[in-house]
A and B are shown apart, each in its own frame.
Chain A
């Protein structure tokens, strides 16, 4: 083999590698700027004292901020509030989302319109959604209490009662995000292989048997994926609470992200808030890993 073609092939490979990296470089740079830098900066602040005069970390304090956060009863209370919200909102949205998807997927007139209408809550800004529900549920002017009054219920203090306020947050969030789950579930249902259903039908399976033994097992990977995606959205809950209850009454709906925001931007405790963010990030990543592992196991099982 002559050196000429070998050099030429080497040049080709180099050019290929360079062009690949050249195309990827802008994306890497943007990702580094908008994702890696804020995370690293947050990490740096979480181990420092922040000088408010310059907004620069001024002194390395080691694990002090983390110790302060982990000893703060208010931090754990907000984590508990977030846990309560997730424990109710996630299952409710998953069950409702898939149930609605089954109904929407059935062959009936007008389902296209219903599908389109279902998307509306998703495109409304969360702050607008919070404000909208605040008006609808207001005990003085809201239409919901008027309707409930017709059947002898209420008036209910949706945002003033601690238990009801959390239920209201779950309700608003469910209204907003169930369509998203429905959308994923509908796509999953439409992608299921028809021949399996035809075979089951020939074998005499009824509607329930097909749902229990064919549709649901085939949908498990979709459900797991929808759960993980929704989970990652739900742990960020902030704007709806900010727009509707401000974390109250008392601290009944003070979810962790609102707590961190208030500690940082109101309390000006940026270093401790950064430590809180890192703790929440680690817990979220650990739980997400557990869910992903679980979804993989479910996929293998079905």
Chain B
């Protein structure tokens, strides 16, 4: 249900002022029928992209020069933005009279919120005339492609795919006398093994390694870990009517599993998010972590960022519940502003980045994970990518089967914030998992999704 109460026939005072102010630029801003072309040596085209600051600079310095080998007359500028500001900035930019950005890199749950503004280009319809005949839509795995689809319209393409995976330290498992995890590992087995994985791995006579670490702090991504456990047990966040569907015995039991993980986590883990768990694992203080797959290279391969050796680190889908293994989708997709004067050039950039050629280049040069079946099934450039790509393909299939992603709603972030609040209260011991889910369900139902 839409929460848009605006009278469609009424024009607000501010909209009128904004419209009048923008009028002199309207002709300049409107896209010509040919989509603004691809530029020429004499008249190159400049387009601007907003992306997360974690990878914007790398894309600018590595991907853009490669793109310019094929499209030398399209000058691309990629601006980095902090994650916490990105959604709001994107919304404000798209709804402005003269948007700054032609292309926006959007996180997994944001497409519905951005699409609701009516300011995104329908790639399969509006951009169909400029689509390369060789651009293979069917080659994308359905799970990552669906991240930028809303209400049957494809607004974007996957640029940087990610999945929540289980990383494990083989040395720790061996020292604890436990078998190496496999995708068949269940949550019950993992919880039974966890006490043995809290151990002294350095011979110091005291505990210096723990079983697990992940997001535990009051953060929007913390509930995704619990959601992966919930989904693995057949539970889901919302029903078809947008009502909370997690306040069930399965929901409570799985949140209890998540809270119980803290018993086997390092001291201070209640305040841990991405950086803390990653550093703990890379410094050999963890037997396992639930983390985004894209950190694999820096965790297992690059000696500048890890103390672990490549053969020490294993990666697989998260443990299984009654419905199978778990994971959670986190795809960065590229979308195009309808108001860009250069939609063709913007689409050329996105096509190249998400093409077979672009994916291969990005996965080998900047460590981005591909979304295409062909990229994942072909032999990758580096040997370390072979097991990682196999796990990634499995996680896409698992995510697609269990619909393991954040709510596909215009108010997705609001749902996520409610879950972050209440899950944090449960992990801190302030309230029980049952009360946390009861509160969360009541608050989510009030959001009128």
A binding-site residues for B, Cβ under 8 Å: 49, 51-59, 74, 134, 138-141, 155, 157-160, 162, 165, 245-252, 254, 262-263, 265-269
Contact = CB atoms under 8 A, between A and B. Distances in A.
A267 B413 contact: yes
Point out which of A56, A134, A247, A250 has the most chain B C-beta atoms below 10 A from its C-beta: A250
Interface stretch (B39-47, B87-95, B368-376): B87-95
B94 to A, nearest CB: 10
Contacts of B91: 52, 55
B408 interface: no
Contacts, number: 128
A163 to B, nearest CB: 11
A250 B6 contact: no
Q: How large is the interface on B (under 10, 10 to 19, 20 to 34, 35 or more residues)?
A: 35 or more
A69 to B, nearest CB: 14
Contacts of A74: 421
Interface in B339-381: none
Interface string B67-92: 00000000000000000110110011
A284 B414 CA distance: 28
Interface of B: 3-7, 12, 14-15, 84-85, 87-88, 91-92, 95, 113, 116-118, 217-220, 266-271, 273, 276, 279-280, 285, 410-411, 413-414, 416-418, 420-421, 424-425, 427-431
Contacts of A245: 217-218, 271
A288 B207 CA distance: 52
11 contacts: A52-B4, A52-B410, A53-B4, A53-B118, A58-B6, A140-B266, A141-B279, A157-B271, A159-B268, A246-B217, A251-B218
Contacts of A252: 428, 430
Contacts of B414: 266-269
B218 A248 contact: yes
A57 B413 contact: no
A56 B14 contact: yes
Given A159-B268, A248-B424, A249-B218, A268 B411 contact: yes
A54 B4 CA distance: 10
A251 B431 CA distance: 11
List the 8 shortest-distance A-B pairs measured between CB atoms, nearest first: A250-B428, A248-B218, A160-B270, A159-B271, A139-B268, A249-B428, A139-B267, A250-B430
A134 B275 CA distance: 11
Contacts of B7: 58
Given A58-B6, A266-B414, A155 B424 contact: no
A59 B417 contact: no
A16 to B, nearest CB: 35
Point out which of A159, A252, A266 has the most chain B C-beta atoms below 10 A from its C-beta: A266
B411 to A, nearest CB: 6
A265 B88 contact: yes
Contacts of A268: 113, 411, 413-414
Contacts of A54: 6, 12, 15, 95, 117
A50 B59 CA distance: 36
Point out which of A59, A140, A246, A262 has the most chain B C-beta atoms below 10 A from its C-beta: A140
Given A53-B116, A246-B219, A249-B271, A162 B430 contact: yes
